[in-house]
Amino acid sequence: MMNALDKVLLEKVADLHEIPIGAYNIRKNGEGISRNTTANIDIVTKKDKPGLDVIIKPGTKNESVHIPVILSSNDITDVVYNTFEVGEGSDVLIVAGCGIHNPSDSKSQHDGIHEFFVRKDAKMKYVEKHYAQGEGKGKKVLNPKTIIDVEEGGIVELEMIQIKGVDHTDRVTEIRLQKNARLIITERLLTSGSQDADSKIIVELLGEDSTAQIISRSVAQNNSKQRFYFNLVGKNICRGHVQCDSIIMHDAQVFSTPEISALHQDAQLIHEAAIGRIASNQLIKLMSLGLTEEEAEETILNGFLK
């Protein structure tokens, strides 16, 4: 049920060149088209609303779940509600993301609401990529909302990536950390043309010795706009660090709003933000090696967003 275009989108958002090994659910134009479960990972269709319940048994190790979404029909709005139960002591990789192909003048939109329960001493890596293509005037819109509760000793690593082509995105991430829980977020975002992107990340450090590190890197080109809001809320003995770096080009605009809320005397919270253009000495150095100015810019941007 997948054509060559579908396979291109899957490769872009989930690094899949073929049907994956392990648990997976592939959704196309609002419908599930392929699914597999394993002895340790079950995927169940919700009965009350569109979406999935993904249940990972306690102690599951070295397994993965792929749940990519592709939209290739015109004038479609797809909404899913996915819930993930990551069992105690497990160690898993979850790969999501959405790819849109829209060559029409009608809007294509996907809203994904993902809620995770990461149980005691579990470890989860979650990768979410967004990509869109198509030369029509129709808007390509992706709005992810991610909510994660991490129990004692849990470890969560997030990679949230917007590759290119998305006309509008409103990204919301809310995470709550209990005792000794650890969080690492890497966000990479690219906008060009007249695209706009909003990203809001709120992390509550609720438990003793919980830690959070957030690294956000973005490139804004042409007339695009980016707005970032970060808030670390320390409610116990905890450590948190946010680093937000943006490269601004042409007539783009970037807004970064930092907020750190220390509600405990032993909360240690740091926020750093930097917005600027590509350094001329970097361009000159690469051009001296034989690259054109355009090639030098592309090399720098690819390295920055890597």
pLDDT of 17 over the 80 cut:
no
User: pLDDT tier at 10 (50, 70, 90 boundaries)?
Assistant: confident
Q: Indicate whether 56 and 120 sit together in one domain.
A: yes
Mean pLDDT of 33-53: 96
Indicate whether 90 belongs to any domain: yes
User: pLDDT tier at 89 (50, 70, 90 boundaries)?
Assistant: very high
Distances from the Cα of 172 to the Cα of 33, 113, 159, 169, angstroms? 27, 9, 14, 10
User: pLDDT tier at 111 (50, 70, 90 boundaries)?
Assistant: very high
Structure-token pair, residue 55: 């249940």
Answer with the residue of higher pLDDT: 223 or 292.
Answer: 223
Q: Indicate whether 84 and 188 sit together in one domain.
A: no
Indicate whether 74 belongs to any domain: yes
Alpha-carbon gap, residue 120 to 283, rounded angstroms: 48
Mean pLDDT of 95-107: 93
User: pLDDT tier at 1 (50, 70, 90 boundaries)?
Assistant: low
Distances from the Cα of 139 to the Cα of 12, 74, 131, 218, angstroms? 19, 10, 13, 21
Distances from the Cα of 37 to the Cα of 43, 80, 116, 209, 248, angstroms? 6, 19, 18, 36, 44
Alpha-carbon gap, residue 26 to 33, rounded angstroms: 6
Indicate whether 175 belongs to any domain: no
Q: Indicate whether 159 and 250 sit together in one domain.
A: no
Of 166, 200, 230, the residue that ends a domain is 166
pLDDT at residue 258, rounded to an integer:
83
Indicate whether 160 belongs to any domain: yes
Of 120, 135, 166, the residue that ends a domain is 166
DSSP state of 194: T
How confident is the model over 262-289, as pLDDT tens digits?
999 999 999 988 999 888 888 888 888 8
pLDDT of 176 over the 90 cut:
yes
Class of residue 53 by CB neighbours under 10 A (exposed 0-12, middle 13-18, buried 19+): middle
Q: Indicate whether 151 and 192 sit together in one domain.
A: no
Of 115, 134, 166, the residue that ends a domain is 166
Q: Highest-confidence range of 64-73, 204-213, 257-266, 288-297, by mean pLDDT? A: 204-213
Amino acid, res. 54:
V
User: pLDDT tier at 237 (50, 70, 90 boundaries)?
Assistant: very high
Q: Indicate whether 23 and 85 sit together in one domain.
A: yes
pLDDT at residue 4, rounded to an integer:
82
Which structural domain, as residue segments, surrounds residue 85? 1-166
Q: Indicate whether 132 and 189 sit together in one domain.
A: no
Give the up-direction half-sphere exposure of residue 251: CA atoms within 13 A in the CB hemisphere.
4
Say what percent of the chain tops pLDDT 70. Answer: 99
Q: Indicate whether 78 and 147 sit together in one domain.
A: yes
Alpha-carbon gap, residue 62 to 115, rounded angstroms: 21
Question: Do 114 and 82 contact (CB within 8 A), yes or no?
Answer: yes
Question: Do 115 and 82 contact (CB within 8 A), yes or no?
Answer: yes
Alpha-carbon gap, residue 148 to 122, rounded angstroms: 13
Question: Do 254 and 226 contact (CB within 8 A), yes or no?
Answer: yes
Distant-in-sequence, close-in-space partners of 259: CB < 8 Å, separation ≥ 6: 229, 230, 231, 232, 271
Question: Do 65 and 52 contact (CB within 8 A), yes or no?
Answer: no
Task: Say what the pTM is.
Answer: 0.94
Mean pLDDT of 226-242: 97
Q: Indicate whether 35 and 161 sit together in one domain.
A: yes
Which residue in this structure is represented by tokens 């029409």? 104
Q: Indicate whether 70 and 217 sit together in one domain.
A: no
- How many residues does the structure list for the chain? 306
Number of structural domains, the chain? Answer: 2
Indicate whether 171 belongs to any domain: no
Q: Which helix (H) or strand (E) holds 294?
A: helix 293-305
pLDDT at residue 282, rounded to an integer:
85
Question: Do 99 and 134 contact (CB within 8 A), yes or no?
Answer: no
Amino acid, res. 305:
L
pLDDT at residue 102, rounded to an integer:
93
Which residue in this structure is represented by tokens 């996915």? 82
The chain-wide mean pLDDT, for the chain, equals: 93
Q: Indicate whether 48 and 87 sit together in one domain.
A: yes
Q: Indicate whether 233 and 130 sit together in one domain.
A: no
Q: Indicate whether 87 and 159 sit together in one domain.
A: yes
Question: Do 82 and 113 contact (CB within 8 A), yes or no?
Answer: yes
Alpha-carbon gap, residue 57 to 37, rounded angstroms: 12
Structure-token pair, residue 132: 């869109």
DSSP state of 27: E
